[in-house]
Structure 1
Amino acid sequence: MRESRFVSMTLVAPALFLVAGLFLWPLGKSLIGAFVIEPDGEVASRIGIDNFIKAFSLYGQDVLYTVGIVTVATLLVGLISVGIGGYITLCGRPVMVAALKWLYRWPLFIPFVVVGQMMRTFLAKNGFMNNSFEAIGLIDGLTASGYLDWRGIIIAFVWKQTAFAALLVSGAMAALDRSTIEAGRDLGASPWRILGEIIVPQIKTTLMVSLILSFVTMLSVLSVPMMIGTGTPTMMTVDMAWRINGYSDYGVANALGFISMAMAGTVAWIYLKQAVKEGGQN
């Protein structure tokens, strides 16, 4: 037994050291650094909340902007992924199902930096989208406007993360017992009602997990808001990069990172609390 434990720990140790060195140590240092005020002249470094006060005074609007962008994008990801999974499960024609599976899986293999560059070209005033609409007569090219603002950030986030959420949601729907779906059809329920009242309640755990992971992922992206979200307000990741690269102000950058982690932790806590509550009821 001891030899087996020793072998197991030996095999796991490199991964643990890697996680501790590349994740836990920088995370802990960042959290502590958010409360450390750097020395200024004769004043020694000390502990306080000055970095948070400065962060909110300079970037309070950006914090609200970030919450709004990520929340709207997360809700859209949930709606679209449920729609894709519902169509495949309930009324998908083989050709459309094959096309959807092929299309929504592509973004899984494309990094956010490439998504930002693609959308910057696609959503520009004279980009591919407006040129296509002009070619078919939907818009006038002279009055067309670009989407390189908050709308473009949401479009990029939704396009990228819907693939991930739809893969989880579709898999969960495919694993359901078909008898409940067939019973709803026999009773004359419409596909929308079957989706909303029978399927979604059964896969809500998987749906919530996909949305929380999408929320946290979008909250941490730097490339998309930097490439698409020109001007102000902007997202917190851009502010953090600017404080470090422009001012070497790690204190305020760490404070913004702490706020970002608090947002992600709050969302995860709400989900865990609900999961524990439902588990107790069962």
Structure 2
Amino acid sequence: MISRKASLLLIAPALALMAALFLYPLGFSLVSAFRQEDGGGWGAGNFLRAWQFYSADIVFSLVIVGLSTLLVAFLAAAIAGYLTLGENRWCLAVLRWLYRWPLFIPFVVAAQLMRTFLAKNGMMNNALVELGLLTPFTTHSYLDWRGIVITFVWKQTPFVALLLAGAMAALDRSTIEAARNLGASRLRLLWDVVLPQVRPSFGTGLILSFVTMMSVLSVPMMINAQTPTLLTVDMAWRINAYGDYGLANALGLIAYAMTGLVAWFYLRQGLKENR
């Protein structure tokens, strides 16, 4: 049996990495965010300046990431549900092979792909013109907030769908077959029987996606070259252009608060259900 000291030695490298890569930066951010601009005291001045300069970007970030999370939830549930309840072997094989591709593509590559796909003269508009659905004069660029949402949804849907499909595959099939024998449609099965049983995995995947999308810099910087924009772009701008770590860290803590609020709401709902 492993002694307590040996156990601590085994987990020491992981604890050291957590302290160096997460706890220390978090502590530095807290100290820097509450230190006054002139370095002489403490206060909420950086947060007041953050709201004064970037209130529109704060609201924009919350709306864009929230909308993307909702779309990811809908598509992931549809994909995982069809993988679990679908019966067409060809469609299942194609879907299993196709939907996982974005998992292996980094966000910076996804952003570059979408720049060439969603531009006014990009691949999507050219395909629609060739099909006769649009003319060259009626095409539109989607390199704005819509492009950010499309990129986020395309990139994060496979991640949530994979977690959800795995949880659905572990369910007792007898409940599904019983509901099917009673005449329940595939949509009713998914909504009333399957999804309630995999709600913890579903919620965990959506929270992780929300946090991931809130922290991405490459997508808004490469796709949305206008204002308002996401907070990650504002933080990078304040540091690179002005060396203003106080305001940048204040924006970072505001983003932390957004993600923490979402996680708290999910955990609160889970505790209520357990009670």
Q: Look up the match of 1:6.
A: 5
The two structures have a TM-score, normalised by structure 2, of 0.97
The two structures have a TM-score, normalised by structure 1, of 0.95
Describe the SS at the equivalent of 1:142: coil
Q: Look up the match of 2:223.
A: 228
Aligned partner (choices 41, 47, 58) of residue 46 of structure 1: 41
CA distance in 2, matches of 1:89, 1:141: 42
Unpaired runs of at least 5, structure 1:
none
Q: Look up the match of 2:247.
A: 252
Describe the SS at the equivalent of 1:47: coil
**Which residues in structure 2 correspond to 1:1-282 (within 5 Å)?**
4-39=3-38, 44-280=39-275
CA distance in 1, matches of 2:159, 2:117: 22
Identity over aligned pairs, percent? 58
**Match of 1:9, as an amino acid?**
L
Residues 1-21 of structure 1: CA deviation (Å, up to 9, x unaligned): 7x7222222222122111101
**Match of 1:7, as an amino acid?**
A
**Match of 1:6, as an amino acid?**
K
Describe the SS at the equivalent of 1:278: helix
CA distance in 1, matches of 2:30, 2:95: 42
CA distance in 2, matches of 1:90, 1:131: 36
**Deviation for aligned residue 1:38:** 2.9
**Deviation for aligned residue 1:193:** 0.9
**Match of 1:28, as an amino acid?**
G
Residues 51-98 of structure 1: CA deviation (Å, up to 9, x unaligned): 011000100000000000000000000000000011111124122112
CA distance in 1, matches of 2:49, 2:63: 21
Describe the SS at the equivalent of 2:112: helix
**Match of 1:147, as an amino acid?**
Y
Describe the SS at the equivalent of 1:37: coil
CA distance in 2, matches of 1:78, 1:169: 10
Which 4+ residue blocks in structure 1 deviate beyond 3 angstroms? none
**Match of 1:11, as an amino acid?**
L
How many matched pairs? 275
CA distance in 2, matches of 1:139, 1:85: 33
CA distance in 1, matches of 2:55, 2:125: 34
CA distance in 2, matches of 1:231, 1:92: 46
Residues 94-131 of structure 1: CA deviation (Å, up to 9, x unaligned): 22112111111111111111111111111100011111
Unpaired runs of at least 5, structure 2:
none
